[in-house]
Amino acid sequence: MLALTFFPDGTTTSSLLLCNTSRSLTELDVKFNHRRVLTIEHLATVLGSGRAGLAQDFANHRHTLSLKVRRSVDFSATPVPFADPEAALLFALDQPALFTTTGALKIQVTGTTTNATRWLLNCGVERIQLADWLGIAPAFAYTFNGGLITATAPF
């Protein structure tokens, strides 16, 4: 399972759930620092929960996390499909306005043997793209750019 929640700076109560899915990381096309991530365990390892702490803060070094989520199946535990393609288009047009500031991206991973939460701090949305259009089930490609990755919640 992969769940991503964005918390804008200055708030701990207002959050935006971006993904809560049990689809595979391959289906979601997850990439960390521009490299494809194939399993939850691999993602947890590169985020620093395994033996190799690859995701450390190196001063000005930035980390990127990108994935493609489909509104009809990945945005919440109980998907709400759009009434019609026009409503899906309006949702797509409103997406960039939801990320007007930086914040913290909460990354929750649950796999066969892995259960971990990491925070990508000083995170902003680098890109939002309407990647695929299937009527009332559009897919969005998100690219997040952030700094320090930590296991400690920032608030």
Q: Where are the domains of the chain?
A: 2-150
Average pLDDT value for residue range 116-124: 93
The secondary structure of 76-137 as a DSSP string is -SS----SSHHHHHHHHHHGGGGGSS-EEEEEEEE-SS-EEEEEEEEEEEEEEEEEE--TT-
What tens digit of pLDDT does each residue of 22-56 get? 888 888 999 998 888 877 677 767 666 444 444 44
pTM, to two decimals: 0.82
Closest CA to 104 of 51, 71, 54, 65: 65
What tens digit of pLDDT does each residue of 71-87 get? 767 665 555 677 888 88
Q: What was the pLDDT predicted at 70? A: 83
Q: What is the phi-psi region of residue 29: left when phi exceeds 0, alpha when psi lies from -120 to 50, beta otherwise? A: left
Q: What was the pLDDT predicted at 55? A: 46
Q: What was the pLDDT predicted at 57? A: 46
